Amino acid sequence: MLARIRKDIQVIFERDPAAKSVWEVVLCYPGFHAILLHRLNHWLYKKGWVVLARFLSQVVRFITGIEIHPGAKIGEGLFIDHGMGVVIGETAEVGDNVTIYQGVTLGGTGKEKGKRHPTIGNNVVVSSGARVLGSITIGDNVKIGAGSVVLKPVPPNCTVVGVPGRIVVQDGVSVRDRQLVDLEHNKLPDPVAEMIFCLQRKISHLEERIAQMEENHGESASVQHPQQGKGDVCSA
């Protein structure tokens, strides 16, 4: 237990440059508090003390703003940055070295029993306000952009952005070092903007073609009617 606590503290120093001392982490990081107390709640939940585990999880939510159902399975190296508004559902599974920012929901869909929350792989970054819903699997080394809504499974080494979430394949950008987590979630492609730029280029090309056709048409009309004035051509 002590070794795991030390690792949780070390993870914060590795991923948050604002962390200055161990005492600051222990006293002032709600994500650390929520993860630490979740392990106790999860142990109580597996032992059958469901009501007590649920009650303590609600106390943790009141104190930290982070709601983790005691039934959720959390791997090692989870870092919840700021954490206000984070919700992790009962059957959710979170892998190792995962980073979650504020306002993230790992939620379920429908009223079915059994597995209904997502499974998050290793080295995943879930950015602010993202929603991952349903019994889907998010592969290793995935980055989910801020405000994205992910409803379908995501293969490893991908980036997901938009509503609903769209996969952007990044050739040659896969995380080779499994212990190194890529936190640059501000450098994500925007497929909507790329499509708009593509349409703008096509419109510019069509305008050039139309102008060229009008110019050619005007020259041919002048050759066919040399005596016709400019005003007549315009009226025609």
Please report, for the chain, the start and end positions of each structural domain, with discontinuous segments joined by +.
1-178
Burial (CB count within 10 angstroms: exposed 0-12, middle 13-18, buried 19+), residue 3: exposed
Tokens representing 157 are 């080494």
- The dihedrals phi and psi of 58, each to the nearest 5 degrees, come to -70, -35
Of residues 198 and 128, more confidently modeled? 128
End-to-end Cα separation, the chain, in angstroms: 89
Tokens representing 152 are 């379908």
Burial (CB count within 10 angstroms: exposed 0-12, middle 13-18, buried 19+), residue 130: buried
User: CB–CB of 131/100 below 8 Å?
Assistant: no
Is the whole model's pTM more than 0.85, yes or no? no
pLDDT tens per residue across span 107-142: 888 777 788 899 999 999 999 989 999 889 998 888
Tokens representing 16 are 């948050």
178 pLDDT above the threshold of 50: no
CB count in 10 Å sphere of residue 100: 26
Which class is domain 1-178?
Answer: mainly beta
User: CB–CB of 82/102 below 8 Å?
Assistant: yes
Tokens representing 112 are 């079915």
H or E element at residue 45: helix 30-46
pLDDT tens per residue across span 31-89: 899 999 999 999 999 998 999 999 999 999 999 999 999 999 998 889 998 889 999 99
